[in-house]
Chains A and B, each alone.
Chain A
Amino acid sequence: MRFIITYYGYMDGSGEYYIVVDSEKCNGCGECVTHCPKQVLEIIQTMVDLEEQLVAAVKEEHRKNIKYSCSACRPEKATTPCVSACKRKAITCIWKPKAP
């Protein structure tokens, strides 16, 4: 059994923002990609520890801007479309802005 949980996003002075993909649960179906209104997600082929797998991932150009890319879906208030779309609960959202 192999699995890796990847946290896409960052923490900066204003808070923590991550889209988390569990590659054990993810089967690369792409539902999350279809439901994302901002094209933040994609399905990639990744090799970790010498094995290949298709998994969901946040696109490279959005990883450092995730707070802004995902803000329209209001992750701090509600379940985002990508999370709702996933039947295997492979994708989750951690959104912790610091109080102003």
Chain B
Amino acid sequence: MKFRGDSMIAAGIDMGVQNIKIVILQDKEVIARSIIPSGFEPRRAAEKAFEEALKEAKLSLKEIQHVTATGTGVEMAPYTDSTISMIAADARAGVFLYPSARTIIDVGAEESRVVVCDEKGTVLEFAINERCAAGSGAFLEAMARALEVRLEEMGVLSLEAKGTVSINATCVIFGETDVVSLIHKREPKHEIARAIYDALADRITSIAHRVGIRPDVILVGGLAKDLGFTAALKRKLETEIFVPENPEYAGALGAALHALNKAGGR
């Protein structure tokens, strides 16, 4: 039996553009997670998400010994004791989930990252695709809208396809026109869906090649749950990809691990 007093309790907040994610760790065990849309008031949303996570963990705020924040909106994070970059968070989480992880690919709503690290989770190299929607989840969202298919159904739909169609557009805005013209040409929706995933996976793969892929490759972030995307990425990368459970929490987990270290006074 372990008494409350012996444990170290830390929390990580990932202030994502679309969603705020919280992870609470008790020693090396995840005891709570929560996710809430950032909306127009990310700070408030983060507070709410924190509340929910605390409820799940049956803890109060003061029992958290250290809180580390990360993510695009990190300056707006509440209760923060320290911050780390998304890159560092990805590496930490990757190695924690898979000790053999050396390349972590994180595809978020508005940004994509590829991080190469060592066995301790120290970042060796990284590449970020930012400020361009075409290399992120935003591309998928916009294309799904143009295709008039619900985002959640895109993945499974694309798996039926053989890859007869391709989309050359390198911009979300131009891509929308491409999709519309493919529909007018009566190309089947599942083929268009696959083309969309292939285009995105292609860009992510190129970013990955920039830093040099080292096995094992881990995929995290919201898009990691999308079967259509993982299939396309495996095709383009031509290597095995591991996807952990709850991949969208990787950033928050990495931050929480960092917080745990800090709580231990190390």
Chains A and B touch (C-beta atoms under 8 A apart): yes
| In the complex, chain A residues 72-88 whose Cβ is within 8 Å of any chain B Cβ | 72, 74
CB-based contact A64/B130 at 8 Å: no
B202 within 8 A of A: yes
CB-based contact A13/B131 at 8 Å: yes
A65 within 8 A of B: yes
| Given A68-B206, A71-B209, A71-B210, also A13-B132 (CB < 8 A) | yes
Main secondary structure of the interface of B (DSSP, over half): mixed
B65 within 8 A of A: no
CB-based contact B131/A64 at 8 Å: no
**The residue from B129, B168, B207, B210 contacting A64, defined by CB atoms under 8 A apart:** B168
With both chains docked as a complex, state the minimum distance between the C-beta of B142 and any C-beta of chain A, in angstroms. Answer: 16
With both chains docked as a complex, state the minimum distance between the C-beta of B211 and any C-beta of chain A, in angstroms. Answer: 9
Contacts beyond the supplied A14-B129, A61-B168, A68-B206: 12 A-B pairs with Cβ under 8 Å: A10-B170, A12-B131, A12-B132, A12-B171, A13-B130, A13-B131, A14-B130, A14-B131, A69-B206, A71-B209, A71-B210, A98-B131
> Footprint of B on A, CB under 8 Å?
10, 12-14, 61, 64-65, 67-69, 71-72, 74, 98, 100
**Sampled A-B contacts (23; CB under 8 Å):** A10-B170, A12-B131, A12-B171, A13-B130, A13-B132, A14-B129, A14-B130, A14-B131, A14-B132, A61-B168, A64-B170, A65-B203, A67-B206, A68-B202, A68-B203, A68-B206, A68-B207, A69-B206, A71-B206, A72-B209, A72-B210, A74-B210, A100-B130
